[in-house]
Amino acid sequence: MSFFRRRELYVAITFITGLLTIFDYFISFDALNNTAAALRNWVVLIAYFAIVLGLVNTFVFHGRRVFRKGQQWVYSAWLLFVVVSITLIGIFSGTNHPIYSFLFTNVYGALGPSGYGIMAFFIASAAFRALRARSFEALILLTAVVFTLLYRAPVGGIMPFIPQIGDWIQSVPSAGGMRGIIIGMAIGAIGMGLRTLLGYERGYLPE
Amino acid sequence: MIFVEGTIIATIILAFIWLAMIYNIERAKGGKLPRIRAIPALNAIDEAVGRAAEMGGRVLFVNGIGDLTSVSGPETVAGLAVLRYLSKCCAESGIEVVAPLTQAQVIPVASEAMRTGFIEAGNPEAFQEDNIRYVSSSQWGLATSCMGIIGREKAVSSVLVGAFAGECLAIVSAGAEAGVFQIGGCGRNTTQMPWFVSMCDFSLIGEEVYAAGAYLSRDPLELGSLVGQDYGKILTAGLIILGYILYIFGSKALYNILGM
Amino acid sequence: MVVMLILMIIPAVNPLGIPIPISDYTREVYNYIENLPSGSIIVVANNVDVALWPEEETFAKALFWHLGEGPHKFVIVNFGADSPLLISGALTDINFEISFPNKKYGDDYVLMGFLAGGETAMASFATNPQGVFEQDFYGTPIEQLSIMKELKGASDIDLIVHITGSDADSPVRQWVETFHIPYAAAPTIGWVPTYMPYYNAGQLVGLIAGVQGGAEYELLIGRPGSGLAINDALSLAFLFTILLAILGNIDHLISRLKGG
Amino acid sequence: MADMLSTLSPWIGVLVTIGFWSYLYKENPLFRVVEFTFIGFATAHATVMAITELKKNLVAPIVNKSNYILLVPTVLGLLLYTRYSKDLRFLERFPISIMVGIGTGVAVRAMVRAQLLAQIQQTIQPGKPIDGLIIALLTLGSVTYFIFSSEEGLPKSTIPFYNGLRRIGRIAIMAAMGAAFGNLCVTRYTMAISRIMEAVKLFIG
């Protein structure tokens, strides 16, 4: 059994699957492409198994809170009630059940737009506190924000020069800065890839 | 067996960067210590932990909404390397780190990373499985629960590294309003970076996120691999200069070659 | 924040009608539809998810109103899981059946369900629009829908109007470059930059830029509505944000002068 | 019951918004109810979806088409649950190392051509020469900004030039951040306004 405990074994698995996926993109060869496709399909299935792991984690965490009457245990109890009842409804009556679809539209569907919406207020307060010209760089940030806002505001369309300045900021300085970030990001991911495949990376598979 | 059209140059570039990294790793093995500039955001992790210890609070760690199996995989793993280091610091100072997760597949990996951090600090008993919390696979589950943790559980500092989307603004704003000391960044989603840059005390962007694990490890071999990545950037810069000169002379040669 | 809230509520209750200019690319979509020969078939393709819908709702409703008044037929196809429900909601909201009694469902317009598979689905729809569906969104078998009989292949589609919350790559690659169908895009504002190069290259019939484009469209069809109110509120909120940024900087300057 | 639910429905939507937004004032019980209900529903929803997909893509092919090779991912999936046993928990590393391998592969292969090469190509074939030159310079600067090696290794005379380039890079990155900040405001503000309008419609009619 100690063989299965060795870190090298798992690094090797990562190395092989990773390299296979990369070669699949560059080389057209049936056996390789089919294996890679099958492997990707498997991983999707494994990920579905993992989701149930999330359910278990939820039960353990909130169950313990309720059991020990810990912080917010009443809310935890309510959460567990929702999880259990909705899971059962979903599995046995399908997602078209009125209660399921009711919660789907009005809670699940409404929270996203509300969440995006609440940010408008956060942004407003950030505009006051975070956009201060403490340095030259911060001044550039502030200027870009102000002109982009004017450019994007419907009313900006009738102000003189704003559309031209806005266009220029979008297509020249912003494009230049973004490009460097994207190039760096690509190289970063490529480098991270090699470290992961060779087992240097420490985010997973600790000793 | 043939190359897929349009991937020859990509393969060469990939091979170049990887060989440059291996070369520098080997050099580091030979005893030549790579010199790396400071990344202030990563150095600030100690300060984040210090503050939490001083005020008797906790540290919130957010890994974003990325999973392991898609393009966001490396970002997620990079975030977990930060979690491991952060856990080690926290364990040394005797404080807790709370990590809400949206991807159930990350639970085992995050839990191992945190546990290892506690073991490295020589304090494995202090590790609590309960601090790894699954908060549904929705980004809004993450946003509301982080807001809740900031509001209810005395989170004094927060570290956000991973793959983020729209929810990150809600989390960092809630943190900023509450006066939480924040270090944050994401690697790939360029549209969300401004929030980290403008609202966090320290921010990481793009490549710095991917380099976090190697940087924090202080392991010469990993630092060597970062120097290898620099070769890739120098190559890119060279290609841009060469390509622009060719463009001035009206040639599209390099443009066409890169598309091969 | 209260001020912000009030500024957003005022136009909702009573639109101010801040004038907005109509962009060329919005007008081009309108004109293209106006100039199509009567009885043309327009495909309204959709992939917007529920969280981004508020940005697209304005245009969707204005478009259906325009199509209802016009002499054309239209087929609604969905490439996003949430879209069919959102679209049927939009049709109900504008009372399509009552407002336009001469448009017969099944003969003049039809709402199809969700086609999974992203770009692959877009390609297979263009190849064989009849073959990819067995029934419409409401469960009517496709044999009973006379409009679908006219739609045999890509050449029967006179225009695709694409209401979308994602980037330009796949629709342009498939519908424009492969099948050469006239194509008008209506992306959310975040994705507009990805469509711009194709628009500038003349590959798009026109472009509707998010809620702003939607409001312009409302003006074109002569039915100013929620889109204009949203735009009023946007203008106010943006100006207010800028004011806050300026106040923040004044505050900063004063404290520096005092301190320094 | 369906009738009752449909009358309730817009009110619940507005209540969710109010609950969420009330956080702006302070963390409170209504926010907590929204938070826990949402997480509960979303967890259940993900589970239901996962089970449906497993039935369709795993159980059905095995039972109906005797596609026994799919037993491999089944075993791998189940190995994730060994983490609840102290002695066997290391076995969870099997599925995880495969997942990480695939994720790494997918990310690396997507980056080289679609990101790295495409960005270089766009920079060296600009539409307008003067803007193009500025973009190229700013791109060079921001690429330099990410160089990790410290400048100690460089010849003394080039250090000011190198640092200048990095400074340009920082400024370009800030401009990009500012523009992205402004662009994103449109989406966020539209969402806020549309939620408010829904509420206003409900209260005023």
Residues of A with CB under 8 A from a CB of C: 109, 112-113, 116, 120-121, 123-125, 127-129, 131-134, 142, 145-146, 149-150, 152-158, 170
D window 165-194, beta carbon within 8 A of C: 183-187, 189-194
The SS3 of residue C74 is strand
pLDDT classification of D121: cutoffs 50, 70, 90: confident
A window 176-205, beta carbon within 8 A of B: 178, 181-185, 187-196, 200-205
- Closest approach of chain D CAs to the CA of C126, in angstroms? 26
Whether residues A124 and C5 touch (CB distance < 8 A) is answered with: no
Whether residues A200 and B153 touch (CB distance < 8 A) is answered with: no
The SS3 of residue C128 is coil
B73 with B165, same domain: the answer is yes
Tell me which chain A residues have a C-beta less than 8 angstroms from the C-beta of C251. 128
- B1: in domain: no
Tell me which chain C residues have a C-beta less than 8 angstroms from the C-beta of D185. 238, 241
Tell me which chain D residues have a C-beta less than 8 angstroms from the C-beta of A199. none
Q: Which domain holds residue A125?
A: 98-130
pLDDT in tens, B130-146: 899 999 888 899 999 99
A58 with A11, same domain: the answer is yes
Q: Across residues A81-100, what is the average pLDDT?
A: 88
Tell me which chain A residues have a C-beta less than 8 angstroms from the C-beta of B81. 201-203
Q: Which of D70, D112, D183 lies nearest to residue A152, judging by beta carbons?
A: D183
CB pairs under 8 A between C and D: 58
- Partners of C44 in the beta sheet? C76, C161
Whole-number pLDDT of residue B180: 95
The whole model's pTM is what?
A: 0.87
Is pLDDT of C155 > 80? yes
- A148: in domain: no
Q: Are B225 and A191 in contact (CB under 8 A)?
A: yes
The residue among C7 and B135 whose pLDDT is bigger is B135
Whole-number pLDDT of residue D41: 93
pLDDT in tens, D48-70: 988 988 887 888 889 888 888 89
Whole-number pLDDT of residue D2: 62
- Closest approach of chain B CAs to the CA of A150, in angstroms? 18
ipTM of the complex as predicted: 0.84
Whole-number pLDDT of residue D37: 94
Output D21-29 pairs: Cβ under 8 A, ≥24 positions apart.
D21/A114, D21/A117, D21/A118, D21/A121, D23/A118, D23/B147, D23/B151, D23/B174, D24/A118, D24/A121, D24/C1, D26/B151, D27/B147, D27/B148, D27/B150, D27/B151, D27/B152
pLDDT in tens, A123-140: 888 888 888 888 899 999
Cα–Cα distance measured from residue B67 to residue A47, given in angstroms and rounded to the nearest whole number: 9
Mutate to test the interface with A, among D113, D185, D186, D196 (most CBs of A within 10 A): D185
Cα–Cα distance measured from residue D9 to residue D24, given in angstroms and rounded to the nearest whole number: 24
CB pairs under 8 A between B and D: 194
pLDDT classification of D115: cutoffs 50, 70, 90: confident
pLDDT classification of A1: cutoffs 50, 70, 90: low
Q: How many CA atoms lie within 13 Å of C166's alpha carbon, on the beta-carbon side?
A: 14
- A168: in domain: no
A window 1-30, beta carbon within 8 A of B: 22, 25-29
- Closest approach of chain C CAs to the CA of A126, in angstroms? 8
Q: What's the CATH code of the domain at B169?
A: 3.40.50
The residue among C225 and B179 whose pLDDT is bigger is B179
Whole-number pLDDT of residue A206: 65
Is pLDDT of C16 > 80? no
- Closest approach of chain B CAs to the CA of A101, in angstroms? 17
Whether residues B107 and A29 touch (CB distance < 8 A) is answered with: no
Tell me which chain C residues have a C-beta less than 8 angstroms from the C-beta of A112. 50-51
Cα–Cα distance measured from residue B132 to residue B98, given in angstroms and rounded to the nearest whole number: 6
Whether residues B151 and D183 touch (CB distance < 8 A) is answered with: no
Whether residues A204 and B80 touch (CB distance < 8 A) is answered with: yes
Whole-number pLDDT of residue D173: 94
Residue among A9, A183, A201, C166 at smallest CA distance from B68: A201
- B2: in domain: no
Q: Give the amino acid at B117.
A: G
Selecting from 1.20.1280, 2.60.120, 3.30.70, 3.40.50, what CATH number does the domain C26-224 have?
A: 3.40.50
- Closest approach of chain C CAs to the CA of A9, in angstroms? 36
- Closest approach of chain C CAs to the CA of A114, in angstroms? 9
Cα–Cα distance measured from residue A3 to residue A9, given in angstroms and rounded to the nearest whole number: 8
Dump strand ranges (E) for chain A: 27-28
- A104: in domain: yes
pLDDT classification of B189: cutoffs 50, 70, 90: confident
| A20-29, B230-239, D141-150: the lowest-pLDDT one | A20-29
- Closest approach of chain C CAs to the CA of D20, in angstroms? 15
The single residue listed with the structure tokens 């990101």 is D115
Domain count, chain B: 2
pLDDT classification of D43: cutoffs 50, 70, 90: very high
Tell me which chain A residues have a C-beta less than 8 angstroms from the C-beta of D80. 46, 49-50, 53
- A83: in domain: yes
pLDDT in tens, C73-108: 999 999 887 788 888 888 888 888 888 988 999 899
Whole-number pLDDT of residue B1: 56
Is pLDDT of A53 > 60? yes
Chains near A with 3+ CB pairs less than 8 A apart are B, C, D
B155 with B243, same domain: the answer is no
Domain count, chain A: 2
Give the mean pLDDT of chain A. Answer: 88
Give the mean pLDDT of chain C. Answer: 85
Mutate to test the interface with C, among D25, D193, D196 (most CBs of C within 10 A): D193
Whether residues A206 and B214 touch (CB distance < 8 A) is answered with: no
Q: Across residues D4-12, what is the average pLDDT?
A: 79
| Ranges of each domain in chain D | 1-65, 67-125, 126-205
Whole-number pLDDT of residue B45: 96
The single residue listed with the structure tokens 């929810």 is B167
Whole-number pLDDT of residue C35: 92
Q: Are C182 and C158 in contact (CB under 8 A)?
A: yes
- A166: in domain: no
State the pairing for strand pair A27-28/B2-3: antiparallel
pLDDT in tens, B93-134: 999 999 999 999 999 999 999 999 999 999 899 999 889 999
Q: Which domain holds residue B135?
A: 40-217
Whether residues A179 and D76 touch (CB distance < 8 A) is answered with: no
Whole-number pLDDT of residue A201: 82
A window 41-80, beta carbon within 8 A of B: 43-44, 46-47, 50-55, 57-58, 60-61, 64, 71-72
A56 with A78, same domain: the answer is yes
Q: Single out the residue in A46, A77, A93 at which a domain terminates.
A: A93
CB pairs under 8 A between A and B: 204
